[in-house]
Amino acid sequence: MSFDVICFDCDSTLSKIEGIDELARRVGMGEEMSRLTDAAMNGLIPLEAVYEQRLALIRPDINSINWLASLYIEEIVEGAKDVFTVLAARNKEVHIISGGLFQAILPLAKYLGLPESHVHAVAIYFNEDGSYQNYEQSSPLARTGGKAEICRRLIKSQDSLVMIGDGKTDMEAGQAGACVIGFGGVADRRVVRELADFYTSESSLVSVLAYIL
């Protein structure tokens, strides 16, 4: 099956890391934050129950976000660049839809050849001195069902859309009529295996091309 619009999650899909967990580890809160992230990605607690809590605890400043942006690229998933090159050559419309932080994900998106307008994530706001101020609380991506909401905006009556990701929040894209591919190359989650239309546990993202082209 060939899709017109192809959407990727970022954390544990395009990059091997979970950005919020890395920010937490940087300030000595790694284990506590990883438990919260894992619970949300496995659908045990709603995303909105942990989103504000995590950022309020970590309070990432602009230097932390720039550090994370570099780490996303350093830890890029095997085959991700190749996949985006193939999709660009075929003139596919590609987006990143993530509950991560927009400013941290944008450099990875640019590295993969995506325009800023095709990056859907949660903006973070800083004070004049670069310290943490707040995040985009109105963003649908900071709550359960947000990825389905973004997919509905992107899908047009004549288009077919596929969402590729590793977490329960990615599976919600199916509510918008999207086909959902679970990527278990970084994080192999049982709930995703059960809910995805297709699933791959190969470490290389190239494995998804068989399902989307």
How do residues 128-147 score in pLDDT, each as one tens digit? 999 999 999 999 999 989 99
pLDDT of residue 39: 84
Reported confidence tier of residue 156, pLDDT bands at 50, 70, 90: confident
Query: Could you tell me which CATH class the domain 5-212 is placed in?
Result: alpha beta
At residue 207, φ and ψ (nearest 5 deg) are: -60, -20
Mean pLDDT, residues 148-164 taken together: 92
Active site residues: 9, 11
Distance from C-alpha of 103 to C-alpha of 168, rounded to nearest angstrom? 23
Mean pLDDT, residues 159-185 taken together: 95
E strand segments, 136-183: 161-165, 179-183
Classify the C-alpha dihedral 142-147-12-124 as positive or negative.
negative
Left (φ > 0), alpha (ψ -120 to 50) or beta: where does 31 sit?
A: alpha
pLDDT at 87 over 90: yes
pLDDT of residue 60: 97
Beta bridge partners of 162: 6, 179
Condensed to tens digits (0 to 9), the pLDDT of residues 26-47 reads 999 888 888 888 888 788 888 8
User: Is the separation of the CB atoms in 122 and 100 below 8 Å?
Assistant: yes
- What pTM value is reported for the model? 0.94
User: Is the separation of the CB atoms in 147 and 97 below 8 Å?
Assistant: yes
The first and second tokens of residue 154, run together, are 């992107």
Q: What is the pairing mode between strands 132-135 and 124-126?
A: antiparallel
User: Is the separation of the CB atoms in 44 and 34 below 8 Å?
Assistant: no
pLDDT at 158 over 80: no
Distance from C-alpha of 107 to C-alpha of 127, rounded to nearest angstrom? 21
- For the chain, the structural domain boundaries read 5-212
